[in-house]
Structure 1
Amino acid sequence: MDKLKYWVGLSHFPKFGPVRLKKIKKYFAEYEHAFNASSSELEKAGIEKNIAEEFVSARISINPDELAERLNKENIKIITVDDANYPKLLLEIYNPPQIIYYKGELESGNELSLAVVGSRKYTGYGKRAAEEITGDLAKNNLTIVSGLALGIDAIAHSAAVEARGKTIAVLGSGIDKESIYPSANRYLAEKIAESGGAIISEFPLGTQPLRYNFPQRNRIIAGISLGVLVVEAGEKSGALITANCALEQNRDVFAVPGSIYSETSKGPNKLIELGAKPVKNAADIMEALDLNQVSAYIDNKKIIPESAEEEKILSCLTREPEHINELVRKTELNTSIINSALAMMEMKGMVKNLGGMQYIIV
């Protein structure tokens, strides 16, 4: 955390979102240097002049040591795009979060997960469908992803917990106790974290649930999942935004069909009309995703290092290009050892050389 506390500090500046943080990470070799950089240095990294100057002025109010202490006190952990355990599916989306705050367990980047979303207002039909389908999916080792909202989201999370499965709640606020939204679901959030699941957010501590946070949150719900199931939703429900994110990210969209006379079924029925897969039970989703095949694929893709050098290199690589000089710096191995190891790893299909001494994990 000694080095990462400065990255946490940078993420606490509201105007440093994933795009600007990525530019900063690419330009600066050390997080501490980036945090303490002058406005002119930040401009060289690609940050707009007015934003750079605003950060330098605001920096005095951001204390990395206090933030690190607060994270530790609330048992909040962080994961960055550089970490091997960063969710692999999330790396595929446009501008993935550069940092994720989480409570609970978020240790496997290869989890099979499905998003289950819907409206805050629901019917008995929607509640039963969400409980039964989600519960059965959780029993079949699918991680259930949703947004902790009142209504279908909370029902889906609860059903997964009751089925002794894993569920991930993606928030549009900070995940510190005072910021978790809605406050009515704070106890549910604790249950999720304590039962092997996780509550996660790209938003730093103290972030309030502002309206424009939720479209950003929805892209993560869809991005971290193999597909999205919409249970009940009105025509203007935020659940449909998540479904649209899924389509943009080349994920499957599923919908529970409902009565043509029900306001809460207008969203799913419209999605089905546009090509979403109608489902009546968990088996329909399992079959559509061909999960046996997916599971086998993920098992085959697991990369097992065969030496200490390979393990060090793999821990530094993601699907974003990494220059060999950065690998030397991060692993503390000399250049000749890195070159030799990378050549062998490329032959084994573990890494890919993009040219210009840039490498990514396969």
Structure 2
Amino acid sequence: MTKITEDDLIDWLRLLLTDGVGDITAQKLLSAFGLPHNVFKQSHTTLANITSDKVARSLLAPTDDAFAKQLEITQKWLETPENHVLTLDSPHYPQHLLSTADPPVMLYAKGRIELLNHHPALAIVGSRNATTGGLQNAEHFARELAADGLTVVSGLALGIDAAAHRGALSAHNPHATTIAVIGTGADIIYPARNRDLAHQIAAHGVIISEFPLGCKAIANNFPRRNRIISGLSHGVLIVEAALQSGSLITARQALDQNREVFAIPGSIHSPLTRGCHALIRQGAKLVESAADILEELHLPSVTHEPATQSTDPSSNSDGDAIDNATQTSILQHLGFDPCDLDTLAERSHLSIAELSAELMILELSGRVEKRDGNVYARLS
């Protein structure tokens, strides 16, 4: 697979690392003059007419030690076979991203770059502080969609993002796995807890970043990278999101990019479903299974089991009947909304001591989750 030439790398890096040149200014210059080497052939006056006097001076100034160091770091990083730099003129640059208003001028990619163009993609995003049920839904949807040939795109964050990547990898579909769009340089893994997951993605999927190598985790980078997550995808699925969250930023960017937005509904009492419910009220598609998404995107559909919680209170996550009649009764009284211990005791007519003992068993078996304030919630 052909890599960027050394001369081209120097020109592209020089353009993007010039003080005052961001993606928008770079695109103006490229639109006016073509490839970067043509930009540096222009006069100060010509460049100033496109940008400003200050930027024109910076573009025509000799490169400094900081540029030389960044070039050296990038050249060394590219010596690893799975590492790539993709510019707007590269045949491997993701074409779906080019249709957006603000595509990154250059991308750093680590892994299987063929996934960026050869397969339809769906983004799955949500809360970093997700519930157990939300994590299960994200992983289940991702596994089903990847098994059906969709590449799952997410942001490698803790919570829903990581669950979506894990689910896609677990489908073991060599033709469509997962893309991680990160908010640091492609040589930095953040958060560190996802280091093993990142290595798996690089081996079986692809990690991409628009930020220079060595760029550390800066808060402003993460909302910015969200436009890439949605831009790579045919649609975005929001699993869990509070009303003020980065996932809703991704949803808004998806709408601006004319992408479909999907949301999984949840309990009216959970703050992590209010963002999803707000999106549904605004026109996002309510989904209960991966088949709902495939049908809406007009992609080939197969039979799916819903990823949401079972409507049969007497069944556990493996579909096996619960032998203990008391536990079955507790699950029936618990329902699907979180419930505090006192209310559940009143509903079930059990003593607090007896109820607590049975809930501990249900919690250990993965059927219920204890939350702050002595509140319990059913799991799928």
Taking the TM superposition and a 5 Å limit, the aligned residue runs for 1:15-26 are 15-26=20-31
* Partner SS for 2:236: strand
2-structure distance, mates of 1:58, 1:124: 55
* Partner SS for 1:153: helix
| Matching residue of 1:43 | 48
| Matching residue of 1:222 | 230
| Matching residue of 2:72 | 66
| Matching residue of 1:161 | 169
| Matching residue of 1:102 | 109
2-structure distance, mates of 1:208, 1:83: 26
| Matching residue of 2:201 | 192
Structure number with the bigger relative contact order (C-alpha 8 A, sep ≥ 6) is 1
2-structure distance, mates of 1:279, 1:288: 10
The answer to whether the 8 Å contact 1:84/1:109 transfers is: no
| Matching residue of 1:303 | none
- Tell me whether 1:83 sits opposite 2:90 in the alignment: yes
Seen in structure 2, the aligned counterparts of structure 1 residues 29 and 222 have a Cα distance that, compared at 3 Å, is closer
- Tell me whether 1:174 sits opposite 2:185 in the alignment: yes
The answer to whether the 8 Å contact 1:146/1:156 transfers is: yes
Listed as ranges, the gaps of 5+ residues in structure 1 are: 294-362
Report the Cα offset of residue 72 of structure 1: 1.8
Seen in structure 2, the aligned counterparts of structure 1 residues 184 and 9 have a Cα distance that, compared at 3 Å, is farther
Report the Cα offset of residue 84 of structure 1: 2.8
2-structure distance, mates of 1:192, 1:207: 20
Aligned AA (1:16): V
| Matching residue of 1:4 | 8
Seen in structure 2, the aligned counterparts of structure 1 residues 154 and 58 have a Cα distance that, compared at 3 Å, is farther
| Matching residue of 1:284 | 292
**Which structure is larger by alpha-carbon Rg, 1 or 2?**
2
Aligned AA (1:111): H
Report the Cα offset of residue 31 of structure 1: 3.2
The answer to whether the 8 Å contact 2:139/2:165 transfers is: no
Among residues 219, 238, 248, which one is paired with 1:240 in the alignment? 248
1-structure distance, mates of 2:20, 2:164: 33
Seen in structure 2, the aligned counterparts of structure 1 residues 186 and 37 have a Cα distance that, compared at 3 Å, is farther
2-structure distance, mates of 1:190, 1:266: 34
| Matching residue of 2:36 | 31
Aligned AA (1:151): G
2-structure distance, mates of 1:38, 1:150: 48
The answer to whether the 8 Å contact 1:7/1:35 transfers is: no
Q: Deviations over 1:24-77 (max 9, x none)?
A: 323445534545877555325x12222333455683121275144223245520
2-structure distance, mates of 1:30, 1:112: 29
Listed as ranges, the gaps of 5+ residues in structure 2 are: 302-380
Report the Cα offset of residue 204 of structure 1: 1.4
The answer to whether the 8 Å contact 1:78/1:101 transfers is: yes
Report the Cα offset of residue 95 of structure 1: 2.1
Choose between structure 1 and 2: higher helix proportion: 1
Name the stretch that deviates more: 211-220 or 96-105: 211-220
The answer to whether the 8 Å contact 2:40/2:59 transfers is: no
Name the stretch that deviates more: 109-118 or 183-192: 183-192
1-structure distance, mates of 2:162, 2:17: 28
The answer to whether the 8 Å contact 2:19/2:58 transfers is: no
1-structure distance, mates of 2:217, 2:44: 30
The answer to whether the 8 Å contact 1:11/1:204 transfers is: no
State percent identity of aligned pairs.
43
Taking the TM superposition and a 5 Å limit, the aligned residue runs for 1:254-273 are 254-273=262-281
Report the Cα offset of residue 103 of structure 1: 0.3
The answer to whether the 8 Å contact 1:9/1:67 transfers is: no
2-structure distance, mates of 1:14, 1:76: 26
The answer to whether the 8 Å contact 2:264/2:288 transfers is: yes
Taking the TM superposition and a 5 Å limit, the aligned residue runs for 1:199-218 are 199-218=207-226
2-structure distance, mates of 1:30, 1:115: 31
1-structure distance, mates of 2:165, 2:224: 20
The answer to whether the 8 Å contact 2:19/2:55 transfers is: no
* Partner SS for 2:272: helix
Seen in structure 2, the aligned counterparts of structure 1 residues 29 and 171 have a Cα distance that, compared at 3 Å, is same
- Report the number of matched residues: 289
TM-score normalized by the length of structure 2: 0.70
**C-alpha RMSD of the superposition:** 2.3
Among residues 49, 52, 56, which one is paired with 1:52 in the alignment? 56
TM-score normalized by the length of structure 1: 0.74
Seen in structure 2, the aligned counterparts of structure 1 residues 35 and 238 have a Cα distance that, compared at 3 Å, is same
Seen in structure 2, the aligned counterparts of structure 1 residues 30 and 259 have a Cα distance that, compared at 3 Å, is closer
* Partner SS for 1:169: strand
The answer to whether the 8 Å contact 1:9/1:35 transfers is: no
Seen in structure 2, the aligned counterparts of structure 1 residues 124 and 10 have a Cα distance that, compared at 3 Å, is same
Report the Cα offset of residue 210 of structure 1: 1.9
The answer to whether the 8 Å contact 2:74/2:213 transfers is: no
1-structure distance, mates of 2:125, 2:35: 39
